Structures are given as C-alpha cells and as structure tokens.
Amino acid sequence: MTGLVLLLIIIVNFILESTIIHYFNIFGVVPNTALIVTVIIALLKGKNVGSIVGLISGLLQDIIFSPVIGINGFILFFTGFLIGFMEGKLSKDNILIPIMLNLISTIGYHLLYSLFLYFLAYNISIIAFFKEVVLFEMVYNGVISVLVFKGFSKIFIIPPIRFGKR
C-alpha cells in the first residue's frame, strides 16, 4: 500500500512539475518540488525509501528538464539517502526540521548541480546564479515544504493510540 502511495506521489509531482508549477514563478524562480518531496519522504520514511524516491524523481526531472541525464537522479538519490539516514535522530513533530532540511538541501543541490555542469564544460556564473536564483528558491522551497510536510505526515505517520480520558 505504501509503495503504491509513493508511486502516486512521484507521478503526481512529476505531472505538476512539468505542466503547472512553472506558472507559479516568483522573480523567475520556481520551486524544486522533486527536492521537496524527496526531503520530506526521506525524513518520514528513512534512507531506503528516500533514496529510491529521489532517484526516480530525479531521473524523471532529467528526462524532461536537464541537458544531461542522471545529474538530478544522482543528486536527489544522495539527498534522500543522507536525510533518510538522519530520520531516527530528528523529531518529526517540529515543523522547523523540514524547513531547515529543505534550505540546506536546496543549497547542496545547486552546488552539486553547478559542479557537475562545470565539469561538463557548461559556462555558469555560480555567484550570480546563487544571488538571482538560489536565495529565492530556498525561501520558496522552505514555505512549500511546510505544506507538503503537513500533508505527508497525515499520510505516513500513524497517530499514537491513547487510552483514557483527555
């Protein structure tokens, strides 16, 4: 059941990302919903599920948006694994955890992506790119991660059973 839900989340995210999300740009920046979904699922479900979701989401992103196949898949796989590795050590009740993880993941994602493009001989001004794109995307991803975390925590976290009056 959980695998089917995860596959449905990946497919819906991919459809939204390739059709509707680009209409929600602010200063020419759109949120990286594949990164947000990977971070939240890795936080909620662990490193194995997070890395698989990251790999599939990243490869789908590569097929549609990237000039080189495999970069997003690798970066999101690595992100899902690292965040899922910390799953047991982080509180799932604190709303600041997914925000901070998405902020850090957005920076790491763009640093790794820029590094890959540099070695593939693509000319990119990393300082201008960080000023114009990454800072806005960090804020955008942080805000959206709150909504996604609230929705996914209702799906994936089983509420504790309470006996007695309260």
Q: Where are the alpha helices (DSSP H) in 46-162?
A: 47-65, 71-85, 96-119, 126-129, 135-156
What would the two tokens of residue 107 be?
A: 């920076």
**Which carries the bigger pLDDT value, residue 53 or residue 119?**
53
pLDDT band for position 11 (cuts 50, 70, 90): very high
- Indicate the pLDDT class of residue 165, thresholds 50, 70 and 90: low
pLDDT at 160 over 90: no
Q: How far apart are CA 34 and CA 63, in angstroms?
A: 13
For the segment 94-136, what is each residue's pLDDT rounded down to a tens digit?
Answer: 889 999 999 999 999 999 998 888 888 887 777 877 888 888 9
Q: What is the DSSP letter of 157?
A: P
**In sequence order, what are the residues at sequence separation of 6 or more whose Cβ sits closer than 8 angstroms to the Cβ of residue 36?**
102, 141, 144, 145, 148
For residues 3 and 102, the model is more confident at 102
Q: Taking residues 86-100, what's their average pLDDT?
A: 87
Q: Position 120: which residue type?
A: L
Q: In the prediction, which pLDDT does 97 show?
A: 92
Residue 83 has pLDDT above 90, yes or no: yes
Say whether 127 sits in a helix, a strand or coil.
helix
Structure tokens, 142: 């942080």
